[in-house]
Amino acid sequence: MFKKLIDNAASKSPWLFHINAGSCNGCDIELVAVLTPRYDAERLGFKLAGTPRHADIVVVSGPVTVQSLDRVLRTIEQVPEPRVIVTLGSCPRSCNVFKGSYAVAGPLDKYVPIDVSIAGCAPKPEAIIDGLALATKILKEKREAMK
């Protein structure tokens, strides 16, 4: 009985974990703006988790630099299944203007499957809310599939 209650509650409150994989900080600022009172994603149940082990949705920004690659993969591995990986902005999707650099190991989909990509450079906070809403939907589907 309690399990059903927890499942129901958890599906309405996905926790985010944000990884900066060498981002320019533009997308990071927009993600933080989503959580501030102006856009207030917490009213929709999203909460920024302090550790990857508590998270359901991983938000990655930045082109995945050589320095950050190992850390990014290690962090994503720590997020329990089912997890949804969201790419924020153009960088993790395609490396954007950094493609071809010796310091960049991306794009991210070379290493882990991407579930949702939010395009924009940087994406508008409203677009991020759209993306997170889609991520919640996918998370629910994954939970159903795991049962």
Return the number of the residue (74 or 99) whose C-beta is nearest other proteins: 99
Return the number of the residue (36 or 51) whose C-beta is nearest other proteins: 36
Binding mask 67-96 for other proteins (x = CB under 8 A): -----------------------x--xxxx
Q: Which of residues 47, 54, 71, 124 is near other proteins by CB under 8 A?
A: 124
Counting contacts by CB under 8 A, is residue 134 touching other proteins? Answer: yes
Structure tokens of 13?
A: 């409150």
Q: Can you tell me whether residue 20 is helix, strand or coil? A: strand
Please state the φ and ψ torsions of residue 135, each to the nearest 5 degrees. Answer: -65, -40
The residue ranges of DSSP E strands in the chain, in sequence order, are 15-20, 47-48, 57-61, 84-88, 116-118
- Over its C-alpha atoms, the chain yields an Rg (Å, rounded) of 15
Q: Rounded to whole angstroms, how far apart are CA atoms 119 and 128?
A: 9
Counting contacts by CB under 8 A, is residue 9 touching other proteins? Answer: no
Sites for other proteins among residues 101-120 (CB under 8 A) = 115-120
**Smallest distance, Å, CB 117 to other proteins?**
5
Return the number of the residue (25 or 51) whose C-beta is nearest other proteins: 25
Please tell me what DSSP assigns to residue 110: G
Q: Rounded to whole angstroms, how far apart are CA atoms 74 and 80?
A: 12
Return the number of the residue (54 or 111) whose C-beta is nearest other proteins: 111
Counting contacts by CB under 8 A, is residue 97 touching other proteins? Answer: yes
Tell how strand 84-88 and strand 47-48 pair up.
unpaired
Residue ranges binding other proteins (CB under 8 A): 37-40, 43-44, 90, 93-97, 99, 115-121, 123-127, 129-131, 133-134, 138
